[in-house]
Amino acid sequence: TDAYSLADDVCLAGVKSITDLMLKPGRINLDFADVRTVMKDMGNAIMGTGQADGDDRAINATTDALRNPLLGGDMSIKTAKGVLVNVTSGNDLTLGEWQQVTDKIISEVEDEDAAVIMGHSIDENMNGAIRVSIVATGID
């Protein structure tokens, strides 16, 4: 039952992240057209989410999202053709932290033509923490 609970949590976080991306105010707002760009006719998809606080919270949350236990040991976004990333934080996200998330995601994707779309939504309850959610499509 722990595996089902973990799967439920990850699915809920992923769906919430995508809906937050489109519905909540943010510094970088995306819409359904962005979701469609990444998802339409792209084939296999994987999703991961990570949340962290404290020192190195941006890198830790991004790494957790990329290494989500539901993805399995050999799954990655390296072959993705489309990647949708939502960063949720309080108003305390720094430009340096945003750059860390962006650099880490882009370094993982091998296809230079992949559509990598980033969004940032604000949740006042997240001050001190960052949640990174990733939906990668077109996985071989």
Q: Alpha helices, DSSP H only, in the chain? A: 2-23, 32-39, 57-66, 95-108
Q: Tokens at residue 34, please? A: 């962005």
Q: Which helix (H) or strand (E) holds 117?
A: strand 115-122
pLDDT at 20: 67
pLDDT at 86: 87
Q: Could you tell me the pTM of the whole model?
A: 0.81
How far is C-alpha 80 from the chain's CA centre?
13
More confident residue, 94 or 7: 94
Asked whether residue 128 carries a pLDDT value surpassing 60, the answer given is yes
The CA distance from 41 to 6, in Å, is 28
The CA distance from 138 to 99, in Å, is 25
User: pLDDT over 90 for what percent of the chain?
Assistant: 30
Q: What is the mean pLDDT of residues 73-94?
A: 85
- CB-CB neighbours of 55 under 10 Å: 7
pLDDT at 16: 72
pLDDT digits 0-9 by tens, 106-120: 999 988 888 898 888
pLDDT digits 0-9 by tens, 12-48: 766 776 676 667 666 666 666 666 666 676 677 778 8
